[in-house]
């Protein structure tokens, strides 16, 4: 025990703060939000170019943010086929992204905190 708090508990708290910090970035929050919206309205995940189009962000920036979120365990990716990617007439292999349970929970918690009047 260290000052009444175990080292493992301190490590857990630091990991949670890191995850909150990663997700609190404006672009990453917007990405999680648009995917959650698509999941609630159409019950499906989204691919990188589609997210970029929805948010008016270059797909390279979206992909970079998704890599960070995936590495932190806040989103998962799964390969699938998509129609009409880059004006293609054939289905194209893409990675579909969706938030993990942890990513969804953190997103909602940050949204809740941002609505609070902290003054």
pLDDT digits (tens, 9 = 90+) for 37-80: 999 999 999 999 999 999 999 999 999 999 999 999 999 999 99
The CA R_g of the chain, rounded to the nearest whole Å, is: 17
The average confidence (pLDDT) of the chain is: 85
List the one residue out of 33, 69, 83 whose CA is nearest residue 54. Answer: 33
List the one residue out of 104, 82, 101 whose CA is nearest residue 36. Answer: 104
- Going from N- to C-terminal start, the domains of the chain cover 7-115
Q: Determine the Cα–Cα distance for residues 58 and 68; give it in Å rounded to an integer.
A: 16
pLDDT digits (tens, 9 = 90+) for 16-30: 767 777 777 899 999
pTM: 0.80
Whether residue 22 contacts residue 68, with contact meaning beta carbons closer than 8 Å, is answered with: yes
Backbone angles phi, psi at 78, to 5 degrees: -145, 135
List the one residue out of 31, 41, 18 whose CA is nearest residue 107. Answer: 31
Q: Determine the Cα–Cα distance for residues 8 and 34; give it in Å rounded to an integer.
A: 35
Q: What tokens were used for 91?
A: 């289905």
Backbone region of residue 9 per phi and psi (left: phi > 0; alpha: psi in -120 to 50; beta: other values): alpha
Domain 7-115: CATH class, spelled out = mainly alpha
């Amino acid at each position: 025990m260290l000052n009444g708090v175990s080292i493992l508990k301190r490590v857990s708290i630091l990991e949670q703060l890191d995850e909150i910090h990663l997700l609190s970035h404006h672009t990453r929050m917007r990405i999680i939000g648009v995917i959650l919206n698509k999941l609630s309205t159409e019950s499906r995940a989204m691919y990188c170019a589609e997210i970029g189009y929805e948010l008016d962000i270059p797909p390279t920036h979206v992909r970079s943010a998704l890599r960070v979120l995936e590495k932190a365990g806040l989103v998962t990716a799964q390969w699938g086929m998509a129609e009409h990617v880059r004006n293609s007439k054939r289905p194209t292999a893409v990675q579909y992204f969706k938030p993990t349970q942890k990513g969804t929970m953190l997103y909602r918690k940050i949204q809740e905190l941002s609505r609070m009047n902290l003054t």
